[in-house]
Amino acid sequence: MRTAITSLISGILFGAGLALGGMTDPARVRGFLDIFGDWDPTLAFVMGGAVIVMAIAWRIVPRMAGPLFTGEFHLPTKSDLTPRLIGGAALFGVGWGIAGLCPGPGIAALVIEPASAAIFVVAMLAGMAVVRFTEGASS
Amino acid sequence: MTLPGFPEAAPLAGLVGGVLIGLAAAVMLLGLGRIAGVSGLAAKAVGLGGSGIVSGGAWMFVIGLPLGALVVMLASGGIDATFASPAALAIAGLVVGIGTRLGSGCTSGHGVCGVSRLSARSIVATLTFMATGIATVAIMNALGLEGL
């Protein structure tokens, strides 16, 4: 129950931050990526604000015996720079550039422009399913 | 508040929004010991994560995203949003879905959580998706496809 409530609070804060920061407007996101044209730097402030808060949170982690509401930390441990990581990130960037949406804003926008956001989200889940079922449990 | 030379930019709203996103990720990290990576949590919510198990916690996070946007929408009286065509959204969604699973994350997991942890994988991933995103927009604009 505490996991569910904590997850919901995190999601609500996250969605509110995306909407307030302008990330749920694909035109603004594409404006941020348009550095050779009519550049809109707003998203640099969004990322900066988020990274500063999280940098503080990461400093707190080593001082904790465990997370506040569950048994232990489940954090990524990989450190190798693989072709899969770089190729996947490159592909993601292409999709981000085409529509100006990444996963969080796509899902949050379901209440802003439901039909458009739903097309993106369903296609995204289909893409995830493609990876899942072509690679099985290894992904 | 505006930035000189950038009349369209909303730096203060951006910064406040970013701080909220950071707090959301901090709640997930310090409360549950997990990364608030939206692509990973969305996959887990529908049983497409590594374990294949549908995660209730992930569902709650994913449901929270539109709820949070709804609060801002109701409080501010509406959110500006201009979306691409259905075909572009479908292609982009598919590519984002494949790319984020292969690349183990997106703007939130790598860009916010990983970069702030100074993870080499996340810094490389973030620089990579920023570069291809910038290139994609530049190429589309050069080809006259910006209204796609």
Contact A87 B3 (CB under 8 A): no
Measured in angstroms, the CA of A83 and the nearest CA of chain B are apart by 9
Looking at chain A, how many residues does it have? 139
Helix (H, G, I), strand (E, B) or coil at B120: helix
The ranges assigned to domains in chain A are: 2-138
B145 to chain A, any CB pair closer than 8 A? The answer is: no
Amino acid B92 reads A
Of residues B1 and A129, which shows the higher confidence score? Answer: A129
Preferred mutation among B137, B139, B143, B148 to probe A, highest tally of A CBs within 10 A:
B137
Q: How far apart are CA B19 and CA B26, in angstroms?
A: 10
Preferred mutation among A7, A42, A59, A111 to probe B, highest tally of B CBs within 10 A:
A7
Amino acid B47 reads G
Q: In this structure, is residue B115 part of a structural domain? A: yes
Q: What is the 3-state secondary structure (H, E, C) of chain A?
A: CHHHHHHHHHHHHHHHHHHHHCCCCHHHHHHHHCCCCCCCCHHHHHHHHHHHHHHHHHHHHHHCCCCCCCCCCCCCCCCCCCHHHHHHHHHHHHHHHHHCCCHHHHHHHHHCCHHHHHHHHHHHHHHHHHHHHHHHHHC
Q: Indicate the number of domains in chain B.
A: 1
Looking at chain B, how many residues does it have? 148
Tens-level pLDDT at each residue, chain A (139 residues): 899 999 999 999 999 999 999 999 999 999 999 999 999 999 999 999 999 999 999 999 999 999 999 989 999 999 999 999 999 999 999 999 999 999 999 999 999 999 999 999 999 999 999 999 998 544 4
Structure token pair of residue A126: 């289909």
Contact A96 B80 (CB under 8 A): no
A126 to chain B, any CB pair closer than 8 A? The answer is: yes
Q: In this structure, is residue B95 part of a structural domain? A: yes
Amino acid B140 reads M
Domain span at residue B137 reads: 83-148
Q: Which residues in B lie closer than 8 A to residue A48 (C-beta atoms)?
A: 15, 18
Out of B46, B96, B112, the one facing A92 most closely (by C-beta) is B96
Measured in angstroms, the CA of B144 and the nearest CA of chain A are apart by 13
Contact B84 A14 (CB under 8 A): no
- Given this model, what pLDDT does residue B74 score? 96
Q: How far apart are CA B74 and CA B81, in angstroms?
A: 15
Out of B20, B79, B111, the one facing A47 most closely (by C-beta) is B111
**Which residue on chain B is closest to A53 by alpha carbon?**
B22
Q: How far apart are CA A34 and CA A60, in angstroms?
A: 36
Contact A103, B96 (CB under 8 A): yes
Residue B125 has pLDDT above 70, yes or no: yes
Q: In this structure, is residue B21 part of a structural domain? A: no
Q: In this structure, is residue B142 part of a structural domain? A: yes
Helix (H, G, I), strand (E, B) or coil at B79: coil
Structure token pair of residue A86: 């770089």
B89 to chain A, any CB pair closer than 8 A? The answer is: yes
Structure token pair of residue B66: 């539109």
- Given this model, what pLDDT does residue A139 score? 40
